């Protein structure tokens, strides 16, 4: 196991800062990445930060994290639709924290269901970019396994 944490982002997160700022805030994905890198450095983690709009590419990113210390995953809309992502998280055996910028439970009913939640270590939502920081801290607090 390495001290690498993969921070993986799904569809439309590349539009942060301009996409529905009333819901997602003014921070850009570059701002989120900088926050994650700073927190990762403080925790002693190497951060791999990626974003894709493609479900298959996100599955590939999850599989590439095999052997990592953890995954912080904002699968965005795929959270509510993708059995493929659920299966990838389950298959790699890497402790995964599901994060969301908004409080998905205060939004549309379809966002209340996550295919990922049953196979991740925990879920953090509603804290904007700080959801990622909390996710990294959660990974740091998990026991390391060989």
Q: Which residues are catalytic?
A: 24, 100
H or E segment at 98? Answer: strand 96-100
d(CA 112, CA 131): 17
Sheet holding 122-125, edge to edge: 46-51, 4-9, 70-74, 96-100, 122-125
- Residue 117 is labelled as binding a ligand: no
- Residue 16 is labelled as binding a ligand: no
Q: Which residues pair with 143 in a beta bridge?
A: none
Q: Which residue has the tokens 């809309």?
A: 77
Structure tokens at 87: 């299966």
User: Residue 109, SS3?
Assistant: helix
Q: Which residue has the tokens 């969301």?
A: 100
- Residue 35 is labelled as binding a ligand: no
Structure tokens at 48: 């791999």
- Residue 111 is labelled as binding a ligand: yes
Known binding residues: 74, 80, 87, 101-102, 111
Binding positions for substrate = 74, 80, 87, 101-102, 111
């Amino acid at each position: 196991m390495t001290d690498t944490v993969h921070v993986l982002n799904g569809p439309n997160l590349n539009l942060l800062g301009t996409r529905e700022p009333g819901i997602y805030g003014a921070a850009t994905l570059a701002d989120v990445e900088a926050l994650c890198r700073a927190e990762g450095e403080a925790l002693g983690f190497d951060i791999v930060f990626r974003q894709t709009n493609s479900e298959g590419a996100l599955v590939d990113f999850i599989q590439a994290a095999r052997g990592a210390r953890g995954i912080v995953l904002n699968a965005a809309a795929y959270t509510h639709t993708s059995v493929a992502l659920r299966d990838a998280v389950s298959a790699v055996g890497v402790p995964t924290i599901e994060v969301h910028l908004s409080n998905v439970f205060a939004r549309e009913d379809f966002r209340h269901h996550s295919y990922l939640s049953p196979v991740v270590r925990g879920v953090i939502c509603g804290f904007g970019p700080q959801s990622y920081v909390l996710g990294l801290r959660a990974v740091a607090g998990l026991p390391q396994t060989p």
